[in-house]
Amino acid sequence: MSLFHKSLIIFLLLCLIGGIFFICRLFPLILCLLPVILYLPLLVWASANLCSQFYLSAQCRDKKKEGILLTFDDGPHPEITPTVLKILEKYDQKAIFFCIGKNIEKYPEILRKIKQGGHQIGNHSYTHSHFFALFRTRKVIRELQKTNALIQEITGEENKLFRPPHGVTNPNIGRAVNALKMRVIGWSIRTFDTSSSPPKILKKMKKAQAGDIILLHDTQSNTPSILEQYFFEKNNTQKQKKN
């Protein structure tokens, strides 16, 4: 049972008690409505925070990993993803690419390159719609199944990794994930690389510790240069420590 279902049971019980107290005129109306006033903001917060694990289980850190885990969302991109792959190969790094189904259809050869590079591939929905969180369970399932089918057709391997668009979750997405038995991967460091400046992005990446999962996008023009600088400085730091 998810935290959402447990909280819903408690919420309904409190509403029932509040209703009885109001009918019996033991409490004023505002106190009886307190569960509703507190519960609604909790639902909004939990929906926007994937790692709250309120609606579904999500891995937001890799405690067994000695290094960090880089993840890239929204690809594949015809120009940026290949450049990112070259940088990862140069520094002998592996990552997870959470790809959008409609982009996979456009650039299947790039998905093959991701696989050939020894990286993992995950599902990031088919459309990456801004209204994904409003989809019914059946529609979410169709999106995930369609993208999974594309990944399997191109790579020859079944996919079980999923990251919700925008990191937003709700009961419908939770039911779809459970129905398809998918493993949700979140993050511990969100770089906001779609809106932040390169120095700010790099600063956040440098704070990463062993087991951290970093969220990046292989659709941003500055991603390759940021990656190059990050690995270059990281390698120099490691060399200095050895010396």
Are both 118 and 10 inside the same structural domain?
Answer: no
Report helix, strand or coil for 78. Answer: coil
Q: How many CA atoms lie within 13 A of 110 on its CB side?
A: 24
Are both 34 and 117 inside the same structural domain?
Answer: no
pLDDT of residue 101: 99
Q: Is residue 23 part of a domain?
A: yes
Are both 40 and 126 inside the same structural domain?
Answer: no
Residue 71, domain CATH: 3.20.20.370
Contact 192, 216 (CB under 8 A): no
Contact 36, 28 (CB under 8 A): no
Are both 148 and 235 inside the same structural domain?
Answer: yes
Are both 42 and 91 inside the same structural domain?
Answer: no
pLDDT of residue 237: 63
Query: Which domain does 102 fall in, by range?
Result: 58-242
Are both 214 and 111 inside the same structural domain?
Answer: yes
Which residues participate in catalysis according to the annotation? 73, 217
Number of domains in the chain: 2
Are both 8 and 26 inside the same structural domain?
Answer: yes
Q: Which of 230, 235, 164 is nearest to 193 (CA)?
A: 230
pLDDT of residue 144: 99
pLDDT of residue 24: 65
Cα torsion for 145, 146, 147, 149, to the nearest 10°?
80
Q: Is residue 147 part of a domain?
A: yes
Q: Is residue 62 part of a domain?
A: yes
Are both 35 and 139 inside the same structural domain?
Answer: no
Q: Is residue 155 part of a domain?
A: yes
pLDDT of residue 124: 99
Report helix, strand or coil for 214. Answer: strand
* For helices 108-116 and 80-90, angle between their N-to-C axes, nearest 10 degrees: 10
Q: Is residue 11 part of a domain?
A: yes
Are both 105 and 196 inside the same structural domain?
Answer: yes
Are both 98 and 7 inside the same structural domain?
Answer: no
pLDDT of residue 32: 62
Are both 67 and 129 inside the same structural domain?
Answer: yes
Are both 91 and 186 inside the same structural domain?
Answer: yes
pLDDT tens track for 33-71? 777 788 889 999 999 999 999 999 999 998 777 789 999
| CA–CA gap between residue 139 and residue 122 (Å, rounded) | 19
Q: Which of 48, 69, 84 is the last residue of a domain?
A: 48
Q: Which of 48, 66, 83 is the last residue of a domain?
A: 48
Q: Which residues of the chain have pLDDT under 50?
A: none
Q: Is residue 103 part of a domain?
A: yes
pLDDT of residue 69: 96
Q: Is residue 17 part of a domain?
A: yes
| CA–CA gap between residue 156 and residue 152 (Å, rounded) | 5
Q: Is residue 53 part of a domain?
A: no
